[in-house]
């Protein structure tokens, strides 16, 4: 028997079904993450997120990277 569990997303509190017993059918597999994105999520949340929140946190990660790059460029141009 596959182990499925109802969880509340720690970010938005939406109830979703975690299918850890059949991970290939789990909603989280719809969001592709690289190692840096996974690390970013693990640093903020200790439990599974729903797929929409995974997508949002992934976008947040990339927005933060872009903001950091812009800030560095702006800082360099001010020093010239």
Q: Give the tokens for residue 34.
A: 């690289």
* pLDDT (tens place) for every residue of the chain, 80 residues total: 456 789 999 999 999 998 877 888 888 899 999 999 999 999 999 999 999 999 999 999 999 999 999 999 888 655 44
Between CA 10 and CA 6 the distance in angstroms is 13
Question: Is 20 in contact with 6 (CB distance < 8 Å)?
Answer: no
What's the pLDDT score for residue 19?
A: 86
What's the pLDDT score for residue 18?
A: 86
Q: What is the pTM of this model?
A: 0.80
Question: Is 23 in contact with 32 (CB distance < 8 Å)?
Answer: no
Question: Is 4 in contact with 27 (CB distance < 8 Å)?
Answer: no
């Amino acid at each position: 028997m596959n182990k499925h569990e109802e969880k509340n997303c720690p970010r938005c509190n939406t109830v979703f079904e975690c299918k850890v017993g059949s991970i290939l059918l789990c909603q989280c597999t719809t969001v592709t993450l690289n190692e840096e994105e996974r690390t970013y999520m693990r640093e903020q949340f200790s439990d599974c997120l729903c797929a929409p929140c995974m997508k949002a946190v992934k976008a947040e990660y990339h927005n933060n990277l872009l903001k950091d790059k812009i800030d560095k460029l702006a800082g360099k141009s001010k020093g010239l």
